[in-house]
């Protein structure tokens, strides 16, 4: 194995834009990264790069591209100490969550980062984000054996992260879990919060069930909307964004619609609309019917983690409803708290 080497996987996004002589922004070739971030020439570890066949705005991210990213890391896993994925911010938390579920027995850092302003702009936050992400991925400072997001001085667990701002540099937050590290003059790692390592070889699971949907509750939601979603042909799973600690309307039509969907084999999981806190089934009467008909409690998972976990679990355990329920309720990669 070659030591002290990091691989950058470039997917697209704001960070990879530079200005040409006419002032227009366009994606830059990663073999010119030292021109875009000259500070990298001072690094005492090797940096290689690879680009997806088609770089994208992250709004166009798909499960197929998650597989492409994971396949690159799988192929190069034994050749590098860590990996940095340059990614657009809009769906970064979804990709970080998806990759975390795909990688079983991950013992190296996979750090996603990006920027709010392109590298080609004078005030870009991308340079600092790239430099810090590479330092973390190099494993010289600490071994972070999980999929993370680095943004604006903080390292976050990827499947706990949510984008909270479209205009501030501190664009991400993990409301239900502390940051894994803070970067100031020094790198301050909280190693007791890291996922444990093991000696088993990396396993990459690449099956996703795409026939899932999100049902966000709001006052006045009607049967036409709910039934149209629940009766979608081929639907396999629904992540339902409920109120507070998992509350929902108690109207008979609503409960019956969910119950009929569950009886047809649709997996329904409840997560809270709140940024912080957790679903606690039966804490209030307004969630008792959901528990009775078989809605799965999603604990304190983010919507990004809940959606990607459902796609992953349904994709790998199709036709095993009890296994699916058990896995959805169980922390797999630190995405939810116990109890």
Over residues 104-119, the pLDDT tens digits come to 999 999 999 998 887 7
Task: Work out the pLDDT band at 199, boundaries 50, 70, 90.
Answer: confident
User: Using CA atoms, how far apart are residues 258 and 65, in angstroms rounded to an integer?
Assistant: 32
Please state, in angstroms and as integers, the Cα–Cα distance from residue 113 to each residue in 131, 159, 188, 317, following that order.
10, 14, 18, 31
Rounded percentage of the chain residues whose pLDDT exceeds 70? 94
Active site residues: 14
Using one digit for the tens of pLDDT, what is the confidence trace for 58-72?
A: 899 999 999 999 999
CATH 3.30.70.360, domain 212-328, yes or no: no
Structure tokens given for 89: 């911010």
User: For residue 124, what pLDDT is reported?
Assistant: 80
* Contact yes or no for 141/44 (Cβ under 8 A): no
User: Max CA-CA distance within the chain?
Assistant: 66
The answer on pLDDT for 230 being more than 90 is yes
Please state, in angstroms and as integers, the Cα–Cα distance from residue 11 to each residue in 93, 103, 134, 237, following that order.
14, 18, 16, 28
- CA–chain centroid gap for 1, Å, is 29
User: Using CA atoms, how far apart are residues 79 and 155, in angstroms rounded to an integer?
Assistant: 24
| Domain residue extents for the chain | 5-204, 212-328
pTM given for the model: 0.94
User: For residue 6, what pLDDT is reported?
Assistant: 96
User: For residue 19, what pLDDT is reported?
Assistant: 65
User: For residue 127, what pLDDT is reported?
Assistant: 87
- Strands 147-151 and 154-157, by their bridges, are antiparallel
Q: Do domains 5-204 and 212-328 have the same CATH topology?
A: yes
Structure tokens given for 182: 């803070």
The answer on pLDDT for 30 being more than 80 is no
Rounded percentage of the chain residues whose pLDDT exceeds 90? 76
User: For residue 2, what pLDDT is reported?
Assistant: 44
Q: How far apart are the first and last CA of the chain?
A: 41
User: For residue 283, what pLDDT is reported?
Assistant: 85
Q: Which class is domain 5-204?
A: alpha beta
User: Using CA atoms, how far apart are residues 308 and 310, in angstroms rounded to an integer?
Assistant: 5
Judged by phi (left if over 0) then psi (alpha if -120 to 50, else beta), residue 332 lies in alpha
User: For residue 287, what pLDDT is reported?
Assistant: 87
């Amino acid at each position: 194995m070659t030591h002290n080497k990091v691989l950058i996987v470039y997917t697209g996004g704001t960070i990879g834009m530079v200005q040409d002589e006419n002032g227009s922004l366009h994606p830059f070739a990663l073999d010119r990264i030292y021109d875009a971030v000259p500070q990298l020439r001072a690094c005492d570890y090797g940096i290689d790069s690879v680009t997806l066949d088609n770089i994208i705005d992250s709004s166009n991210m798909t499960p197929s591209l998650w597989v492409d990213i994971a396949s690159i890391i799988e192929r190069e896993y034994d050749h590098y100490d860590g990996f940095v994925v340059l990614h657009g911010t809009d769906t970064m938390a979804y990709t970080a969550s998806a990759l975390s579920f795909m990688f079983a027995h991950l013992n190296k850092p996979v750090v996603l980062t990006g920027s709010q302003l392109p590298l080609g702009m004078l005030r870009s936050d991308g340079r600092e984000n790239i430099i810090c992400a590479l330092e973390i991925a190099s494993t010289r400072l600490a071994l972070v054996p999980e999929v993370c997001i680095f943004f604006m001085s903080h390292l976050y667990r990827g499947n706990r992260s949510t984008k909270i701002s479209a205009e501030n540099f501190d664009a991400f937050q993990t409301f239900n879990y502390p940051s894994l590290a803070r970067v100031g003059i020094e790198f301050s790692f909280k190693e007791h919060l890291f996922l444990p390592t093991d000696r088993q070889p990396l396993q990459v699971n690449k099956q996703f069930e795409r026939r899932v949907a999100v049902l966000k509750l709001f006052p006045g939601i009607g049967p036409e909307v709910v039934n149209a979603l629940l009766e979608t042909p081929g639907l396999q799973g629904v992540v339902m964004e409920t109120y507070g600690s998992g509350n929902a309307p108690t109207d008979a039509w609503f409960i019956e619609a969910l119950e009929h969907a569950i009886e047809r084999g649709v997996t329904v999981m409840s997560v809270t609309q709140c940024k912080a806190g957790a679903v606690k089934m039966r804490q209030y009467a307004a969630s008792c019917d959901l528990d009775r008909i078989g809605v799965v409690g999603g604990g304190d998972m983010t919507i990004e983690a809940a959606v990607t976990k459902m796609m992953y679990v349904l994709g790998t355990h199709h036709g095993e409803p009890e296994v699916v329920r058990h896995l959805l309720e169980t922390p797999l990669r630190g995405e939810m708290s116990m109890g």
